[in-house]
Structure 1
């Protein structure tokens, strides 16, 4: 590296200030600090001098489904790619997700005889957005829906991700629009592991246990790299990159950010401890704008798999008083209603039907891991009522009304459409508590996923996707599609820059030869 290159940090965290750990590579010169305020873009007093150990075309911060998807196109175009994850587990929190991919028109679904297309899905989504009054940037929202289908086909065909046969569970309009991993709910290993292995085989490098703490800026204040810190080892890693992708998740487990943006949810528990909003905070130090931060975080039960059972099999959600209070075939509905109605918890009641077929693996896993949270089996509703401390008459009345809905094939009380089937004994019940699991707000981007500033102009060299961005409302498939869109844009921008550099070189050669 030439000594005239100057670099400085922007957005260094407090953890960086006290670092005295090992440095990597050749030490470079830094701008003399004028202030200790990291938001001012100067090097932080007391932090190690910037010293690059790796140089790559594309640096991806976060190894969840969005980050891995952003790596696909660049590595396939022979670009050098490094993915850095703050946890010791590759795959981020995507590995711990339920595995419900809301998508239509994929080759897997078509092979199962499902005729709904991505265009049909967009019509439904657009109508929903218009009803909500959320009509900003419909073009990008449409791009996400359409890209979800492409991502699933690509993950299955090119990376050998495994999905369950929809013939096993697609029995309603709701479930026809869902893909599950090979072994059902919670089996993200069947999707994430092949993608990771495929990317690794193509040349993507991975580094775990390193948390992003600051952007590295050049003398023109353009981001040219990222500083990482290992909380365990106390070491610093500086990576130089032509393009940086923030795919580090939302801010669901950052209590201060929740308090600042959605104060009504401050006292609700959180499913995760890793969605700390690091990428959002770092993007803001570059002038990146945020959007939709005040939208309430999505809620689910603290055993998320149980919240998804009702989409595919018969369950009944009961209030602490033994009354049905929310439809069971919408993940998160019970948690949201539980909070809205002021319950501290609710019961999910199920029978032996769930132990068979697609849900058997999930039920067995939950039953083993949360044995103390499950009551049953009970042959009668009277015994179940006693076990969950509700009046027998109330519980019997609740089940009588539910069975009428099953017989009529219409849930007039709550609108359940999927798995509206009898729940028969022996009966089991599992207690659930509402928790936050995903925030909706984040950094604003343009249609290519580039971070944008207050005037909607792109911030040089920085992209954002997944739950770190503001357009990630639809879960796994949406985040994966977002990452893929960013990956495609990275390839185009890098190729354009290379062509421009080559042209400048040719022009210089011609000038030199003619003089």
Structure 2
């Protein structure tokens, strides 16, 4: 029976466009369907960093000996093996080859901008020239040159299957398009409050503090469609959240070193300048919030800088205190009473911390940043929550070949998934910058290749 296309891809972010280019390279006829008015989705809004090991960029920077084996060990250890080893292994093995493939298409990565991503010690973060938008533009240009069709502003409402359960196409309202294989690359569900409530209780718990930095079309459509044909969901309560005082919807991912952060017992629980990949998890372990503590001289000295523009600035902090958004008191005991912090714990913490400041060494958490004492009133307490939602890690379970799996742990024939739609790759702790965009490209390319080959086999 004739079909409209060999491969249909739902979603046009980095995963969907990488799949389109790769499937076309395999000789498949390809259609990309996008619910928004232009291609790119959340990938266009991203920095587009690629977490990879053993790349030519690393070698050019003098970093030799990094391997997929080392990357896999680090990834699995950080994730405490609470992810799918086979899927992670495939990502590690294909990270460098896929980066080279993307470079071959025209995306530029420079040795000068290579950086240590996350909490590791090996530079594996590869920022592209032009950020994620340039990656999308390059992929979309190749998509167009290879004759891949795109339909925009069209939201897929369901998948078609035959009597044997094989996925055979898509439905958009009353319209249908048939194919040999479908790739779901619709992104996450950061703009779907119902799915956040169901799959991300820790994000839901942040209430009206929460805001999402991704695309409007991130509604979890691919997850819903995959489930409707037997796909299972994995990675419950996985997401990248960033800490924020919630003053405004500005994206600042770090905390300044001059403040201290305490839980309700008044105890510090981390180096306040720790990487953004771990801060949210540490806050969740404290019950979902904590308080930044500082005194008047520290507030007055908080000037704007390239890193801190929106929150941790003297005039902003003063205004928020006047508005009652920040607790302020003339004694630490009084501050503790207002914020609901144990006063003995807070005073004891300040005593030790002030001694450390005087000695020039953080004996508790070894913070390297310049520290400020907590000794001159008024004193301030700013509530912090992990409430900026960057991406969602709950999604469809796939195997290492990107096939969507059913509850019997068997592939659903003709159905593949890649990118943020996948749920068995990310752990409770984010691997680091590029650890979400990299898999979009790796598994997008792999899904395109495998879907095209599967569709071809149907003809043989």
Task: Give the structure-2-normalised TM-score.
Answer: 0.73
Instruction: Note if 1:434 corresponds to 2:376.
Output: no
The match for 1:233 is: none
The aligned runs of 1:186-225 (5 Å cut-off) are 187-218=131-162, 220-225=164-169
The match for 2:78 is: 128
Q: CA deviation at 1:250?
A: 2.5
Query: 2-side partners of 1:412 and 1:93: how far apart?
Result: 41
The match for 1:117 is: 67
Cα 1:165–1:189 change in 2 (3 A) is farther
Cα 1:486–1:390 change in 2 (3 A) is same
Instruction: Note if 1:243 corresponds to 2:181.
Output: yes
**Which of 453, 457, 460 is equivalent to 1:492?**
453
The match for 2:339 is: none
Secondary structure, in 3 states, of the residue corresponding to 1:212?
coil
The match for 2:429 is: none
Listed one character per residue, the Cα deviations across residues 279-312 of structure 1 (whole Å, up to 9, x for unaligned) are: 11111111122223x33433114667521x57xx
Based on CA coordinates, which of the two structures has the bigger radius of gyration?
A: 1
Query: 2-side partners of 1:392 and 1:146: how far apart?
Result: 57
The match for 2:196 is: 258
Query: 1-side partners of 2:97 and 2:15: how far apart?
Result: 14
Cα 1:190–1:163 change in 2 (3 A) is farther
Higher RCO (CA-CA < 8 Å; seq separation 6+): 2
Asked whether the equivalents of residues 202 and 237 of structure 2 are also in contact (C-alpha less than 8 Å), the reply is no
Secondary structure, in 3 states, of the residue corresponding to 1:287?
coil
The aligned runs of 1:296-445 (5 Å cut-off) are 296-301=238-243, 305-307=251-253, 319=261, 326-327=270-271, 328-339=273-284, 340-343=286-289, 355=306, 367=309, 375-376=313-314, 413-414=364-365, 420-422=368-370, 434-435=386-387, 436-445=389-398
How many residues in Structure 1 have an aligned counterpart in Structure 2?
Answer: 405
Query: 2-side partners of 1:404 and 1:61: how far apart?
Result: 59
Instruction: Note if 1:267 corresponds to 2:205.
Output: yes
Query: 2-side partners of 1:86 and 1:401: how far apart?
Result: 58
Listed one character per residue, the Cα deviations across residues 41-70 of structure 1 (whole Å, up to 9, x for unaligned) are: xxxxxxxxxxxxx92111111112222222
Asked whether the equivalents of residues 29 and 148 of structure 2 are also in contact (C-alpha less than 8 Å), the reply is yes
The match for 2:29 is: 80
Secondary structure, in 3 states, of the residue corresponding to 1:206?
strand
Listed one character per residue, the Cα deviations across residues 156-180 of structure 1 (whole Å, up to 9, x for unaligned) are: 1x22113343457559954712122
Query: 1-side partners of 2:84 and 2:144: how far apart?
Result: 35
Instruction: Note if 1:469 corresponds to 2:439.
Output: no
**Which of 98, 101, 105 is equivalent to 2:54?**
105
Q: CA deviation at 1:226?
A: 0.6
Q: Which runs of 5+ in 2 are unaligned?
A: 333-348, 373-381, 427-434
The match for 1:6 is: none
Query: 2-side partners of 1:402 and 1:155: how far apart?
Result: 48
Asked whether the equivalents of residues 108 and 165 of structure 1 are also in contact (C-alpha less than 8 Å), the reply is yes
Cα 1:146–1:412 change in 2 (3 A) is farther
Q: Which runs of 5+ in 1 are unaligned?
A: 3-53, 230-235, 425-429, 501-515
Query: 2-side partners of 1:124 and 1:492: how far apart?
Result: 33
Task: Give the structure-1-normalised TM-score.
Answer: 0.66
